[in-house]
Copies of this chain bind each other. A is one copy, B any other.
Amino acid sequence: MENSFCSEYWPENQDSVYLLPQVPCYFPQIQCSHESFQERRESATRSHSEAEKRLRDRINAQLSTLRKLIPTSEKMDKAALLGTVVDHVKDLKGKTAEISKVLNTPTDIDEVTIEHLNEEEENKGCLLKASFCCDDRPELFSELQRGIKNLKLTVMGADITSLGGRIKGVFMLCPNQNSANDVCMNSLKRSLRVVLSRIAISPSTSNYRIKSKRQRFFLPAHFS
């Protein structure tokens, strides 16, 4: 055990170490530092144990922040702590999944979709269903309202859900009464998509966004 430090590039034991030449090298450019093999060996094992200490500390730091997140996890050993963490994660995952089934919860993928309801009657009383999903931010609604107004559309209904810094919205839109009757629904759809995409999808990171690790949380905002 004491002399088990025996990789192929280290001498088998201390005795043979002292048999190896420790004279300065004749070629200065490849002359290594004057530390002996003994010293190199010691510094290697020292740095090894220091690295191991760092690794342990990193893991233990995460464990202790987990401990802060789990109530009554004081005085639990590591395995028990991890066990309750597993339970918490399962529990919370189940709850949020359950909620998503009823609440039309935002995902973490930016998207804009435009649908065309009442296709048969092309122009009169036609409804567009526009949905988007993006990061939530305070100016979002005013920007959306301005964009919708500029396209001469009226919001007939809306369903908005904001959760965990993300927001998902569905608008029911129809052309203004006083707008020209000859408006082409397909070009309107295209313009609407462009407008919404510009507002909802951040241009720099057009999907596969770099998200900040810490999320912001807002209360659901309701469009009136």
A interface vs B, CB < 8 Å? 1-2, 55, 58-59, 62-63, 65-66, 69-70, 78-79, 82-83, 85-99, 101-103, 163-164, 213-215, 217-220
Contacts and interface: CB of A to CB of B under 8 A. Distances in A.
Contact of A164 (B79, B94, B217, B220): B94
Contacts of A82: 59, 62-63, 66
Given A59-B78, A85-B85, A98-B218, 13 more contacts: A59-B79, A59-B82, A66-B82, A66-B89, A70-B89, A85-B89, A91-B164, A92-B92, A92-B93, A92-B95, A94-B217, A98-B217, A99-B103
B86 A62 contact: yes
B94 A215 contact: yes
A56 to B, nearest CB: 9
Nearest to A213: B87
Query: Interface SS of chain A: helix, strand, loop or mixed?
Result: helix
A48 to B, nearest CB: 15
A93 B89 CA distance: 9
A102 B220 contact: yes
Given A86-B69, A89-B66, A92-B89, A99 B163 contact: yes
A105 to B, nearest CB: 9
A205 B65 CA distance: 33
Nearest to A89: B69
Nearest to A70: B89
Nearest to A95: B164
Contact of A2 (B1, B78, B94, B101): B1
A2 B2 CA distance: 7
